[in-house]
Amino acid sequence: MTTAAKIAVIGLGAMGYGMAKSCLRAGHEVWGTDISPDPVERFRAEGGQPGDLKDVAETLDIVVVSVLNADQTSAVLFGPSGVARMMKEGSVVIACATVAPDFARDMASRCNDCGLHYLDAPISGGAAKSAKGQLSIMAAGSEKAFEVASPALDAMAENVFRLGEVGAGSAMKAVNQLLAGVHIAALAEAMTFGMTQGVSPEKFLEVIPQCAGTSWMLENRGPHIAAGDYTPLSQVNIWPKDLGIVLDIARDAKFSAPLTAAALQQFLAAAGMGLGGEDDAAVAKVYARNASLDLPGDD
Amino acid sequence: MTTAAKIAVIGLGAMGYGMAKSCLRAGHEVWGTDISPDPVERFRAEGGQPGDLKDVAETLDIVVVSVLNADQTSAVLFGPSGVARMMKEGSVVIACATVAPDFARDMASRCNDCGLHYLDAPISGGAAKSAKGQLSIMAAGSEKAFEVASPALDAMAENVFRLGEVGAGSAMKAVNQLLAGVHIAALAEAMTFGMTQGVSPEKFLEVIPQCAGTSWMLENRGPHIAAGDYTPLSQVNIWPKDLGIVLDIARDAKFSAPLTAAALQQFLAAAGMGLGGEDDAAVAKVYARNASLDLPGDD
């Protein structure tokens, strides 16, 4: 039996809510905050601690930052009511957003200046795995940061990869997002191409997962297209952001990434068609429109 | 115990040799032919039948055409010494090359005119699975064609997908090749991008296969790059050909396929660098050269 830790989770979106619940389930005292009041109320009703973050910040052992991007990460840590300046010496920030490695290093340095440990800890696995405490975390930071963060990491993750110094977690996440985004667009390209040749989405999903052309994303997102169900488990809007981060990093490194660039254009077209809030499998609608195809679910 | 069938395998390359051996192992009488005498001699030494194809053609039940492309398929069936005009009525041609669906339909029509059945039967799985009789075959044709072909199909394949009328097999194969080619290029793009950010190929292969960014090709070809081993299990030269077929079909269908087009350019650059005979994972060398990176195995 380990001692209960005091943990705050900042950002109760699809991923953060599951992470906060996983920490609760492990027996910790958990505060949940969000810019929207709804998930905060819901989380308290399900066992979260009451009270304002600023009133308890100096008692916390761990702050998990589960927001959308670098700007939000910077704001919640060092903005006008930033939590980093309120936390006690020796506590740890676990930063989960997809950001550039240089940004992670900058945040770590500023946290260290406040006497805090910093874990560069992007996550992978989706909302369902988040809810079950089965995330993969691509984590990087000092031994001490891992040690202080361990109650939250143990509660939230099935796999914690220890990747080295701060920045290495964000680098691996960028690599994963490059692949994941390209594979979703490739799935959409292949499935709609097949439709022009008489290969139905059902037949595609019966055959391709057993062949060399399969991918994790194909098997996960393919059924959404075949069912015409674009309920957003992961939104189209994620990809202009994440592939944009990848291409920003790549440009700084003078690295030519033509497949990533092509995939980004397809997601941008999807967003431009007004599909930003749909499931990312909706990138298939860009291909379908360009080829005058009717997808499953079209009337 | 089924009766031994008389089978010829035309084309004893990496795939065809294994298919011929699998038919032998299943107890059939098998003739193997190739433009090169070496694999023919070797196959006879391992139990293949002696004698010229033209002398036995009219006795054959099944001819498996395992050549590189449409031109070679057309030549071995209907060229100056084409086998289709020599085969007996009611026998079957199993055509395994990656070709356009329209070409498959044309070959089937000409074979039918000669009184032959035709199976549009592209294969997937690689040389190792071919040798073990564990291929996946994306097969299309009449019930009767499947029935006559079954001794060879049973011997060569673990999965035989029955996809409908002739053309449907080639269509599914094109879909699979689109994905497989894009995924190999995406692997190379992601692994070399990671190297610019301090992610080593070893670390990449430790983490990504457990994350959403993985693919069958990534797990199969990634180790080749990490080991710097470009022994050609599947050659770079396959991809300008196969992605070219995909894009030809796509253009005819007015289908825009930007990821496939980007991947093709990377394989063309690899071929242009003189790497056409290396393993297809050598497309990573295009990325590495463009980013002034040293890959594993570089001196």
**Hey, are the CB atoms on B183 and A213 less than 8 Å from each other?**
yes
Residues of A in contact with B191 (CB under 8 A): 175
Q: Which of A186, A207, A220 sits opposite B172 (nearest CB)?
A: A207
Could you say which of A6, A21, A129, A173 is catalytic? A173
Rounding to the nearest 10 degrees, give the CA dihedral for residues A216, A222, A224, A230: 80
* Summary mean pLDDT of chain A: 96
Could you say which of B21, B129, B173, B285 is catalytic? B173
Q: Which of A161, A193, A260 sits opposite B257 (nearest CB)?
A: A193
**Hey, are the CB atoms on A182 and B178 less than 8 Å from each other?**
no
The tokens for B189 are: 């793009």
The tokens for B167 are: 């053309």
In angstroms, what separates the C-alpha of B199 from chain A's closest C-alpha? 7
**What is the pLDDT, as a whole number, of residue A2?**
59
**What is the pLDDT, as a whole number, of residue A123?**
95
Domain residue limits, chain B: 6-166, 170-290
B88 among known catalytic residues: no
Q: Which of B138, B196, B212 sits opposite A207 (nearest CB)?
A: B138
The CB density around residue B80, as the number of other CB atoms within 10 Å, is 5
In angstroms, what separates the C-alpha of A14 from chain B's closest C-alpha? 17
pLDDT tens digit sequence for A200-258: 999 999 999 999 999 999 999 999 999 999 999 889 999 999 999 999 999 999 999 99
Size of interface A-B (CB pairs under 8 A): 242
In angstroms, what separates the C-alpha of A21 from chain B's closest C-alpha? 22
- Ordered DSSP codes for B249-261: HHHHTT---HHHH
Residues of A in contact with B126 (CB under 8 A): 212
Q: Which of A171, A180, A260 sits opposite B198 (nearest CB)?
A: A171
Rounding to the nearest 10 degrees, give the CA dihedral for residues A248, A253, A259, A262: 30
Average pLDDT on A19-38 reads 97
pLDDT tens digit sequence for B247-277: 999 999 999 999 999 999 999 999 999 999 9
Q: Residue A272 — pLDDT band, cuts 50, 70, 90? A: very high
| DSSP reduced 3-state for B140 | strand
Distance CA A20, CA A155 (A): 9
Residues of B in contact with A161 (CB under 8 A): 206-207
Question: Could you tell me if the ipTM is greater than 0.90?
Answer: yes
Residues of B in contact with A174 (CB under 8 A): 193-194, 197
Q: Computed over its alpha carbons, how large is the radius of gyration of chain A?
A: 20
Look up the CATH number of domain B6-166: 3.40.50.720
pLDDT tens digit sequence for B36-92: 999 999 999 999 999 999 999 999 999 999 999 999 999 999 999 999 999 999 999
Per CATH, domain A6-164 is 3.40.50.720? yes
Look up the CATH number of domain A170-290: 1.10.1040.10
